[in-house]
Amino acid sequence: MYSLRFGVPEPAGCGQVTGVTIEQPQWVAVEHRFLGLDRRTFRPALIAFAIAVVLAYGLPALNAAIPWHNEIKAGDVLDLGDGATAVPPVGWQLENGTLTGAAPASLQIDLATGGATIALRGASFTSTADAFLDQVLRSQGSPGVNAARGTVTTAGGLVGVAQSSSAPGGDVLQVAFKMSGRVALLVRVRTAPGQFERYQDTVGALLRSITPGAGR
């Protein structure tokens, strides 16, 4: 076969200038050929193919084999900062946040299971739990249909204010607590539409386990 290279004009007087020259093919020696192909290109091609296979199949398989998140075990306790704690549901995944004794506390904690998520968010707030929940709902625009507001009391006597809502995207329960000092805590539970009752006992156990910490 021949290849075309542009940019070199024909000599003057040869008719129309095409700007095309012809290169002769480069022949591969017999000892380097296999089935008409240059054997010297086999190794780079195989390396490139192996890398492509690893990227396409190896990494997804490795991700599937290694758990991405940390599964909650019996006895694990969430560190909410300033001595405040909560007991997460066993078997759920800790996607964000810290356990007691593991690292500095985080005010952003995320728990997840197959059809539900629980997010715990701390914020600086000096007023009541009811006022804190009002502020949260205003910032969200209160989507969906809201149920009547209620209260949740923990095992340690801490009282929180609860508001549930339903929307096409799912069911949401939000509970606000006034923790110790200048900190307020929001617990937001999300489930698939019509699935909240399936997790009601688990969510209730977590809410009852919340302690306010020191200096309340």
What distance in Å separates the CA atoms of residue 134 and residue 96, rounded to the nearest whole number? 25
What distance in Å separates the CA atoms of residue 152 and residue 126, rounded to the nearest whole number? 20
* Least confident piece of the model among 42-46, 71-75, 91-95, 178-182: 42-46
pLDDT of 17 strictly over 50: no
What distance in Å separates the CA atoms of residue 23 and residue 6, rounded to the nearest whole number? 11
Phi-psi region of 197 (alpha: psi -120 to 50; beta: other; left: phi over 0): alpha
First-to-last C-alpha distance (Å) of the chain? 86
5 beta partners: 21
Could you tell me the pTM of the whole model? 0.67
The better pLDDT of the pair 5, 25 is held by 25
pLDDT of 161 strictly over 80: yes
- All domains of the chain, ordered by start, with CATH? 14-65 (no CATH), 78-209 (3.40.1000.10)
Pairing between β-strand 170-178 and β-strand 159-167 as defined by DSSP bridges: antiparallel
Q: What is the pLDDT of residues 55-110, one digit of tens each?
A: 555 544 544 444 455 899 999 999 998 889 999 999 999 999 999 988 777 789 99
The better pLDDT of the pair 190, 30 is held by 190
> What single-letter DSSP state applies at residue 89?
P
**Average pLDDT score, the chain:** 78
The better pLDDT of the pair 36, 162 is held by 162
Q: What is the pLDDT of residues 4-14, one digit of tens each?
A: 333 434 444 44
Percentage of the chain modeled with pLDDT above 70: 65
pLDDT of 148 strictly over 90: no
Q: How many residues does the chain have?
A: 216
pLDDT of 178 strictly over 90: yes
Q: How confident is the model at residue 140 (pLDDT cuts 50, 70, 90)?
A: confident
What distance in Å separates the CA atoms of residue 28 and residue 21, rounded to the nearest whole number? 22
The first and second tokens of residue 98, run together, are: 């810290």
> What single-letter DSSP state applies at residue 181?
T
Residue 202 half-sphere exposure toward CB, CA atoms < 13 A: 20
Tell me the mean pLDDT in the region 197-213: 95
